[in-house]
């Protein structure tokens, strides 16, 4: 168990830094200024204040079409980014260094040269993904090896711009930076916005509309589920992470947003004094606070979910049940533990809430919450 906890803690730090689940997929280092855009211009990249033009529906993209990927005003202000990344020709050797856009780009039909080796290979969509799997963590990134692959576009987290992004820009390799969302519009809207950004940017209108139609179906099923499960509306619960429980997620995380959209009430939102982990919606919490709050329902998730860590529901549940037994004086007073109203989200059943993984997240929660 000690080895698993060490691995989980390491994955947790990586996931939280990249934009936690929150999942996650979340806090980023400050970045350099827009002076890097000049080096991109020499590689047929230009910055402009104009809005990206709409692509004709059903048009098959061609090499000369080009790509326009805009940045939000928040991204521009926070990271010194230009209004957009514009490529005059469509890139054909794309390396994606962050999990969020990987499945989205693949489902849009955009060919990828390399992707993170932390993707969940158990997911069906990865089976026909021919891209090379590479380690892109801060301690394992082979910058010279990446240059040797001759990419014509790199997509990475804005948090890595200062450390790695400017290096690639100086080598005349265009880089597009992903920026963690504020989650103000909800998990579904945030993911839809990413689909629209890449779908429009790469001229994949038909594929984009097909994915957006799936979201329409999801939103309809959520409303039907809430009606069928009226007893769960307003149900108080806590999202607790790690073994033993060390962190909690507020409603400004992806999992927190999902639970709120299903009508449940997150007790962490009203607890004062919890310290944020690296400025994210993931908060440190002690067993004393958990006992004091006495949640009637717990959503338990291992830290590092969505960052390549494997921790099955069976193993996670067994480890936590051992923790309850060894510290019965602590956990015996928590209603959710006493009444076994705990939903365990192991990585085999519940993927990280990154990108299009949100569909399976909703499916699993909507199927299992009524059974608690």
- Give pLDDT tens digits for 152-165: 999 999 999 999 99
Structure tokens belonging to residue 94: 């794309």
In the predicted structure, residue 169 carries a pLDDT above the cut 90: yes
- CB atoms near residue 371 (< 10 Å): 6
- CB atoms near residue 53 (< 10 Å): 10
Angle in degrees, CA 350, 347, 274, rounded to 5: 85
Pick one of 3.40.190.290, 1.10.645.10, 3.40.50.10070, 3.40.50.1980 as the CATH number of 228-371. Answer: 3.40.50.1980
Spatial CB neighbours of 329, under 8 Å, sequence gap ≥ 6? none
Q: What is the residue extent of each domain of the chain?
A: 31-179, 228-371
- Give pLDDT tens digits for 260-311: 999 999 999 999 999 999 888 999 999 999 999 999 999 999 987 666 678 8
- Give pLDDT tens digits for 202-243: 999 999 999 999 999 999 999 999 999 999 999 999 999 999
Q: Annotate 282-315 with DSSP letters as a single string.
A: EEE--HHHHHHH--S-EEEE-TTTTTT----HHH
- Give pLDDT tens digits for 55-107: 444 455 444 589 999 999 989 999 999 999 999 999 999 999 999 899 999 99
What interhelical angle do 187-201 and 205-228 show, nearest 10?
170
Helix (H, G, I), strand (E, B) or coil at 86: strand
Taking the model in full, what pTM does it have?
A: 0.80
**In this structure, what DSSP letter does residue 162 have?**
I
Classify domain 31-179 by CATH architecture: 3-Layer(aba) Sandwich (3.40)
31-179 and 228-371, same CATH topology: yes
Helix (H, G, I), strand (E, B) or coil at 46: strand
**In this structure, what DSSP letter does residue 21 have?**
B
Q: Annotate 230-280 with DSSP letters as a single string.
A: GGGTT-EEEEEETTTT-EEE-TTSHHHHHHHHTT-EEGGGG-TTPPBSTTS
The half-sphere exposure of 299 on its side-chain side, counting CA atoms within 13 A, is: 27
Structure tokens belonging to residue 347: 């990585």
């Amino acid at each position: 168990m000690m080895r698993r906890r060490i691995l989980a803690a390491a994955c947790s730090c990586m996931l939280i830094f990249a934009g936690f689940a929150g999942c996650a997929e979340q806090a980023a280092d400050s970045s350099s200024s827009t002076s890097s855009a000049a080096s991109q211009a020499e590689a047929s990249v230009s910055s402009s204040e104009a809005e990206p033009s709409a692509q004709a529906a059903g048009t098959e993209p061609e090499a000369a079409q080009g790509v326009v990927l805009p940045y939000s005003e928040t991204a521009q202000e926070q990271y010194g980014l230009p209004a957009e990344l514009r490529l005059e020709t469509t890139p054909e050797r794309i390396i994606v260094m962050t999990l969020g856009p990987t499945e989205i780009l693949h489902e849009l039909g955009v060919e990828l040269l390399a992707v993170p080796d932390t993707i969940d290979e158990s997911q069906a969509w990865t089976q026909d993904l021919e891209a090379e799997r590479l380690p892109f963590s801060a301690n394992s990134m082979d910058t010279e090896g990446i240059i040797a692959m001759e990419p014509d576009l790199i997509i990475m987290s804005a948090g890595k711009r200062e450390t790695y992004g400017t290096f690639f820009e100086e080598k005349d390799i265009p880089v597009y930076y992903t920026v963690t969302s504020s989650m103000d519009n909800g998990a579904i809207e945030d993911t839809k916005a990413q689909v629209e950004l890449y779908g429009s940017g790469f001229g994949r209108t038909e594929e984009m509309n097909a994915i957006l139609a799936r979201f329409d179906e999801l939103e309809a099923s959520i409303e039907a589920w809430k009606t069928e499960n009226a007893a769960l509306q307003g149900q108080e619960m806590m999202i607790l992470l790690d073994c033993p429980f060390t962190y909690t997620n507020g409603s400004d995380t992806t999992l927190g947003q999902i639970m709120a959209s299903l009508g449940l009430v997150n007790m962490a939102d009203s607890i004062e004094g919890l310290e944020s982990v690296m400025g994210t919606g993931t908060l440190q919490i002690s067993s004393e606070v958990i006992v004091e709050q006495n949640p009637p329902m717990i959503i338990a998730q291992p830290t590092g979910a969505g960052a390549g860590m494997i921790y099955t529901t069976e193993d996670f549940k067994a480890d936590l049940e051992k923790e309850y037994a060894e510290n019965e004086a602590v956990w015996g007073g928590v209603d959710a533990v006493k009444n076994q109203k705990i939903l365990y989200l192991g990585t085999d059943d519940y993927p990280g809430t990154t990108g299009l993984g949100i569909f399976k997240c909703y499916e699993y929660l909507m199927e299992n919450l009524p059974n608690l």
